[in-house]
Amino acid sequence: MIRSFCLAACVLALPLRGQTQQLDSLASQLKQGPMGALKALVPKPSIRLSGMITGNHLYYHATGIPDRNVPFNLLYTGNLTADLFGKIKMPIAFSFSNQALAANGLNVGNPLAQLGANPFRQPFNRLQLRPTYKGFTAQLGTCALQFSPYTLAGRRYDGIGLTYKSPGKPFYAGFMLGNLQRAVQVDTTGSVRNNFPAYRQQGLGIQLGYRQQDDAIELIYFTASDRINSLPYSLDEYNILPQQNAVISLKGSKTLTRQVLVSTELAISGLTNDSRAIAEGVSRNLFTTFGGTFTPRASTDYRKAFRLEVQFRGKTLQTGLLYSRVDPNYRTLGAYYFINDLQTLEGKAATQLLRGKLTLNGQAGLQQDNVLNQNLKTNRRLVGSLNLSYVPTEKLNLLLSYSNFSSYSNLRPVYDYLRQVTPYNALDTLNFRQINQNLMLMGTLALPGSSPDITQNLTLNGIFQRGEDSQGGLPQRNNLTNLSLDYSYQHNRRKLQLTTGFNYSHSQFSNLPSSQWGPSLSVSKTLRPSSPGTHWKTSLSGLYTWGAMPGASTPGVDAPGVAEQTLNARWSLSGQLMPKLSLVSSLIFLRQQASSPDRYRPNFSELTATLGLSYQLSLFK
């Protein structure tokens, strides 16, 4: 009787669709009795939350010198993922620090904020939600989107973002809307160290594209403007003017043959330096108004950027040729900074030889500014780099990297247009020359071990940097040499690793040489788990260096130099307190002693302690 009643109640509670499978499940539960049927009625969780929450706590103390960091700092971060009904996934990211409390003016009477003595001008706390559904991805909170280097280039904003990119469809799109800059008032009390007043700046961006394999076309539009009424006063006395910007970009790529690919981008930016400037009398058309979405004013400046690249992709050889040109003062409000007034022609190639044992890739090019010939000085730079990787055997690995940057500046006389310049006069226009060369060498040799559990390696590293600046016949050299030889021993069965080495460094900056040398030692050990699911690892490392710097050279006078000794020690411990709770802690000790007869060099020591906890969160599973 009871079984019949439970079965009838369960059937009436089921939806009309998909009853066959659910009835089979109920029938199996009924065999376990009436309680089994009632358990089948309880719905399974439709929301799942998983991820990791981390808390880092840092303590700092210095003796002999003023503190170079805050005495105590804390940072809590989280990266979570919410699964809604098995169809929508929403990553959640947040960060919290005591630095943000001081930045928001909450340091009065707040012990956590008072520990953060270096407040930021923008709140440090951030929260981001990223739900995904099929091909759609939304960003809510603190967002950052990348459309192209000439339009919206990863600038962080508070608002919303939406992208659509389905693997099976050629169309893709992007959209952003939010505040690029929060309003920052003038700090008249001096409580904020880095105070940069600013208007609130809002932006909007749209990206539409179509791609079929390597063939693609894309249209980008971005606009942003400062809100004058976001502050109760003007910032003119600080030379901060409300700006407005609109930029449009057209990108495309086309496969000419199976090995040749051509890609290009053209961007035009209109930037109004003062949005309060008059608009009467300024010519308007479809292009200057960006389709009626932008108002040209007397302070509006239009600039363009162009990029063209041709690539050849063979089986063993890949080559490419790149040309780019960016007008002077090209800028958009969708990026933090721009390298403008630059013209670049660059070629690159990569190949593999000796049956893949030798890998070569390099590039060479020419860069030049003063694109519109508006400046008196023109800088030209030759750029070249070569990377070589050679693996003759499984036990030997060699790596070489070389780069050369040569800059030349030619200064034109102010009254160049008043007199005729002959080829002989042009020889004296070379005003500045700079040559920078970088060479990096690395070799790794695997030594034979006495047993299969033992691994031994010998590593040699070398870095050589040579720089020379000459102006008016007075050369100034900046050189750096760094050599290190390391030996590593690893016992796989005992989970023990030992590394010892010797380091030597010699530098010469502004014709003032200095040298440092000393040994290093590092030991790490993975401890046996005290219980299933727990693992612990500890390490201890130290570096002791001697240093010497000669005194200033004076004719007829031997000035004494500076001798110093530095000890840098580090201890760390990491492991699992529980299956889902991990701990990471470290202690760093630095002590430096210097002696000089003619100058004061304080002896100091620093101690930094870090305690980090991370929890693997898993709810409703």
Residue 1 banded pLDDT, cuts 50, 70, 90: very low
Give the predicted TM-score (pTM) of the model. Answer: 0.73
Q: How many CB atoms lie within 10 A of CB 132?
A: 15
Asked whether residue 324 carries a pLDDT value surpassing 80, the answer given is yes
Q: Would you say residue 293 lies in a domain?
A: yes
If asked whether residues 198 and 317 sit together in one domain, one would say yes
How many residues does the structure list for the chain?
621
If asked whether residues 417 and 485 sit together in one domain, one would say yes
Residue 520 banded pLDDT, cuts 50, 70, 90: very high
In tens, the pLDDT along 330-356 reads 999 999 888 888 899 999 999 999 988
Asked whether residue 464 carries a pLDDT value surpassing 50, the answer given is yes
Q: For residue 552, what pLDDT is reported?
A: 57
The beta-carbon contacts of 180-188 under 8 Å, at least 24 apart in sequence, are 180/155, 180/224, 180/333, 180/334, 181/226, 182/122, 182/123, 182/158, 183/227, 183/230, 183/231, 184/121, 184/122, 185/231, 186/233, 186/235, 186/238
Q: Would you say residue 402 lies in a domain?
A: yes
Q: Domain ends where: 474, 494, 514?
A: 494
d(CA 176, CA 203): 8
d(CA 430, CA 434): 12
Q: For residue 19, what pLDDT is reported?
A: 43
Residue of 139, 112, 114, 142 lying closest to 127 (CA atoms): 142
If asked whether residues 436 and 329 sit together in one domain, one would say no
Q: Would you say residue 244 lies in a domain?
A: yes
CB 70 within 8 A of CB 97: no
Q: Would you say residue 310 lies in a domain?
A: yes
If asked whether residues 240 and 302 sit together in one domain, one would say yes
In tens, the pLDDT along 22-50 reads 445 545 554 555 545 444 544 555 788 88
d(CA 178, CA 159): 4
Q: Which domain holds residue 30?
A: 1-42
In tens, the pLDDT along 159-180 reads 999 999 988 899 999 999 999 9
At 398, is the secondary structure helix, strand, or coil?
strand
Q: Domain ends where: 494, 526, 556?
A: 494
d(CA 500, CA 284): 71
CB 249 within 8 A of CB 148: yes
If asked whether residues 398 and 447 sit together in one domain, one would say yes
If asked whether residues 335 and 261 sit together in one domain, one would say yes
Q: Would you say residue 103 lies in a domain?
A: no
At 600, is the secondary structure helix, strand, or coil?
coil
If asked whether residues 177 and 319 sit together in one domain, one would say yes
d(CA 466, CA 16): 79
Residue 470 banded pLDDT, cuts 50, 70, 90: low
Q: Would you say residue 544 lies in a domain?
A: no
CB 336 within 8 A of CB 155: yes
Q: How many CB atoms lie within 10 A of CB 492?
A: 13
d(CA 99, CA 361): 45
d(CA 102, CA 579): 36
Q: Domain ends where: 437, 459, 494?
A: 494
| Structural domain count of the chain | 3
Asked whether residue 417 carries a pLDDT value surpassing 60, the answer given is no
If asked whether residues 413 and 322 sit together in one domain, one would say no
If asked whether residues 399 and 474 sit together in one domain, one would say yes
Task: Tell me the Ramachandran region of residue 384: left when phi exceeds 0, alpha when psi lies from -120 to 50, beta otherwise.
Answer: beta
If asked whether residues 484 and 378 sit together in one domain, one would say yes
If asked whether residues 244 and 378 sit together in one domain, one would say no
Span 240-247, mean pLDDT? 95
Q: Would you say residue 77 lies in a domain?
A: no
Q: Would you say residue 158 lies in a domain?
A: no
Q: How many helices (H) and strands (E) does the chain have?
A: 5, 27
In tens, the pLDDT along 549-572 reads 876 555 454 556 788 899 999 999
Span 286-294, mean pLDDT? 92
What's the mean per-residue pLDDT of the chain? 82
If asked whether residues 385 and 484 sit together in one domain, one would say yes
CB 172 within 8 A of CB 354: no
Q: For residue 371, what pLDDT is reported?
A: 87
Q: For residue 228, what pLDDT is reported?
A: 93
Span 112-116, mean pLDDT? 41
Low-confidence winner among 261-275, 405-419, 543-557 (lowest mean pLDDT): 405-419
What is the amino acid identity at position 245?
A: N
In 3-state terms, the chain is what percent helix, strand and coil (to 5)? Answer: 10, 60, 35
Q: For residue 337, what pLDDT is reported?
A: 81
End-to-end CA distance of the chain: 35
Span 102-125, mean pLDDT? 43
